[in-house]
Amino acid sequence: MASTWAKIALAGVFAVVAGGAAAYALTRPAPHPADYWAGLGAPDVANGEHLFWAGGCVSCHAPKDAKGEDQKVLSGGRALPTAFGTFHVPNISPDPEAGIGRWTLAQFGDAMTRGVGPQGEHLYPSFPYSSYARMTRADVNDLFGYLKTLPASQNVAPPHELGFPFNLRVTLGGWKLLFFSADPRVALDNPSDAVKRGQYLVEGPGHCGECHTPRNALGGFESGQWLAGGPNPEGEGRIPNITPGGKAIGSWSEGDIANYLETGFTPEFDSAGGSMVEVQQNLSHLPKSDLAAIAAYLKAVPSR
């Protein structure tokens, strides 16, 4: 009898070990293969600057209320309060100690598109890598090249303030398994070149859905609600529905949307407010063709 119980116990141990190994295999950090980032050549720094503004790097990584050239000092430190705790934005300036000055292109690219840090750790999706995952290798290379031209800062951001179990990075593997994908957010029938460009900008570097799409209790996007608006992920107010069925811009023309992104003024001569002020100011640096492409895409997405 004792031998039987011993066998059952041993089988249980094996099952737990096997299950744990399988779970780890499914949820471990998964950077790109080493050669994925090879052979890209010198970055196009001018395009990198466009991506810098499209991605809104200033809005999170620059000091609050920074103006002019001070916006390009990406010293980090801002606090992002969420339902899971408070995240503190890191320094991504070229400083070799406090920032990303020692990072390789592969480390930067894997952080951007795979949510994997320089030590092989999972990154929290408060950094919108689930959107940046759609960026091309060339664009990531160009953005990294541009960031290296910006001023260095020695500011060290404080650690995140997260309670259990959110302070365990290992849990992020499960989150990625459930919610992380580089596939298009929506399928569009026969999109024009402008709509394709707009889809890339909105779903990728622009990461518009990170605020404009409602989330479930685990912080993943609600299925079928792309850009449909919802509670502010930082806890104050609501983010509007920006699909053709929303009250915010549903009645606007493509020209109205593009003009709003360029100038900050609505067709009713109102102006951008709240967190959209910084977003609009960032996007105003983009070429008019890109603003028109964003507008074309927003008129083409499914109405919610």
Per DSSP, which regions of 147-297 are E strands?
161-162, 230-231, 238-239
- The structural domains of the chain, with segments of one domain joined by +, span 34-179, 193-300
What is the DSSP code (8-state) at residue 265? Answer: B
Note the pLDDT of residue 237. 77
pLDDT at 210 over 70: yes
Note the pLDDT of residue 9. 46
Rg (CA), the chain: 21
Omega into 165 within 30° of 0, i.e. cis? Answer: yes
Mean pLDDT across 81-87:
91
Note the pLDDT of residue 12. 46
pLDDT at 275 over 60: yes
Distance CA 302, CA 83 (A): 29
Note the pLDDT of residue 7. 46
Distance CA 197, CA 98 (A): 35
**Residue 184, Ramachandran bin (φ over 0: left; ψ between -120 and 50: alpha; else beta):** beta
Mean pLDDT across 262-272:
91
Note the pLDDT of residue 5. 47
Note the pLDDT of residue 181. 95
Q: What is the pLDDT of residues 40-54, one digit of tens each?
A: 999 999 999 999 999
What is the DSSP code (8-state) at residue 165? Answer: T
Neighbours of 27 (CB within 10 A): 18
Measuring CA to CA, how many Å separate 270 from each of 104, 209, 274? 44, 23, 13
Q: What is the phi/psi pair of residue 254, to 5°?
A: -60, -40
Torsion angle of C-alpha atoms 266, 196, 61, 41, degrees rounded to 10: -140
